Every structure is written in C-alpha cells, then in structure tokens.
Amino acid sequence: MTIEFELNGKAVTYSGDPDTPLLWALRDDFGLKGTKYGCGVAQCGACTVHVDGMNRRACVAPVSSMEGRSVTSIEGLTGAVAEAVQGAWVALNVPQCGYCQSGQIMSAIGLLGLIEDPSDADIDAAMAGNICRCVTYGRIRSAILQAAQKVKA
C-alpha cells in the first residue's frame, strides 16, 4: 500500500507502514526535522503542521489519512503571513530552547489564516493546545499581534 499526498508543494509517495503517525513519516522518511515530538497524544502541539491549510497534530494523524491531501510543515512555509510571523518571532526574541516553536509558529499561522486580526481571547483559544515549558507565552502573544499588524499594513 502506498500513500500519495502533497508535501510542501511537491507530490510524494509513502510506502512504509500506513499506521505510522505523520510526525515520524515527516521526520524520518522525508527528512523534515522541524516538526517535533513532544507527547505523542495531541497534548502539546509541538508536532503541528498544516493539512489542507488547517492546523493538525501530526503525532495522532496516521500517514494513511493524508492520502490526496496537502501537507505543509515548517520547512514549506511561504507567503506574507508566514514571513510576518517568523519575522516577529525573531524580532521579539520569542524562542528560548526553541523546541516547541515550530508548532507554535504553525498554530499561529493557522490562526492568522482564519482570523486576520485576532483578539487576546482568539489567541488564548487558538494557542491553548501548544505547550511551551520555557513559558514564552507572553512573547508568543506579542509576536502574533505584531505579525497581524504587519500583514494588515
């Protein structure tokens, strides 16, 4: 059984165990190490990617469920929103250990794709599933708000 899907804009085929979580397929089969393992049970958000443009936790998505879909990992980000978000992350010195930040960034971009100008409550709700043990939340919030302003301008 092979699974065909689009990954960061390119058609790919996966021929390993179809039950493999997308997380490990991305990391170990496609060599995309930006997506991280943090919990394996959709509790921490470190593995967040976009599937058909929506936030998705790759640790609980079997690669078989990606058939025909379009997957974007942090390595495949393009566009003004992604640029603004990642720029704000660097400008505000958001990362500490940095391990959760791929997931945080993917979640933030997913949010801004749906709400251009999020309120604090929108950010709280959207980011509730992304844990940062260094607790950079204050700066993550500021970076999302800054990125939203930049995209709007």
Partner 1 sequence: MTSHLTRRSFLARAGTELVIAVVLPSLARAQAIRRMTPAEMREAPAAPSAFLRIGEDDSVTVISKHIEFGQGTFTGLAMLAAEELDADWSQMRVEAAPSEVTLYANLNMGMQGTGGSSAMANSYYQMRKAGAAARSMLVAAAAQEWNVQVKEILVERGVISHAASGRSSGFGAFATLAATMPLMLQPDLKDPETFRLIGTDLPRIDGDEKSTGKAVYSIDVERENMVQSAVLHPPVFGATLKQLDAAAADAIPGVLATVQLDRGVGVIAQTRFAAQRGVAALQADWDMSAAETRSSEEMFRTYAEATKTPGADTETRGLGAKGLEGTVRQVEAEYRFPFLAHAPMEPMGAVVDVQSEKAEFWMGSQLVTRDKTEIVKVLGMQPEQVDIHTMFAGGSFGRLGTPDAEFAAEVAAIGKAWGKGPVKHLWSRENDIRGGRYRPMSVHRLRGGIDEKGNVTAWDQVIAIQSFLKGTAFDGAVRNGVDRSAVEGARGVAYDIPNFHVGLHLMENGVTGNFWRSVGSSHTCFAVETFLDELFALGGVDPVQGRLSLISDEETRLRNVLERAADMADWSGVEGKPGRALGVAIVKCFRSYVAEIVEVSRGEDSLPKVHKVWCAVDCGVAINPDVIRAQMEGGIGFALGAAMYSEITIGAGGRPEQGNFDLFRSIRMSEMPEIEVSIVKSTADPTGVGEPGVPPIAPAVANAWRALTGKSIRTLPFSRGVMA
Partner 2 sequence: MRPWINRRVITTTAFVLAGAFAYINLDYSIAYSLGGKMVDRHEERLRGPEAFSDIPDNAERSEALFREMGKVIESPRCMNCHPKADSPTQREGRPHTPPVTRGVGGMGAEGLQCSTCHGEENVTFTNGEGSIPGHPAWHLAPATMAWQGSSLKGICEQLRDPERNGDRSLDELVEHNSEDTLVGWAWTPGVGREPAPGTQELFGALTRAWVDSGAVCPGTAG
C-alpha pair distances (Å), 10 with each of 44, 111, 129: 28, 24, 28
Give me the least distance between CB of 116 and partner 2, in Å please: 11
End-to-end CA distance of the chain: 48
Q: Which stretch binds partner 2 (CB under 8 A): 8-16, 38-46, 67-75, 92-100?
A: 38-46
Q: Which stretch binds partner 2 (CB under 8 A): 28-36, 50-58, 76-84, 94-102?
A: 50-58
- For partner 2 (CB under 8 A), the number of binding residues is 28
Interaction mask 52-81, partner 2, x per CB under 8 A? --xxxx--xxx--x----------------
Please, which of residues 87-116 interact with partner 2 by CB under 8 A? 107-108, 110-111, 114-115
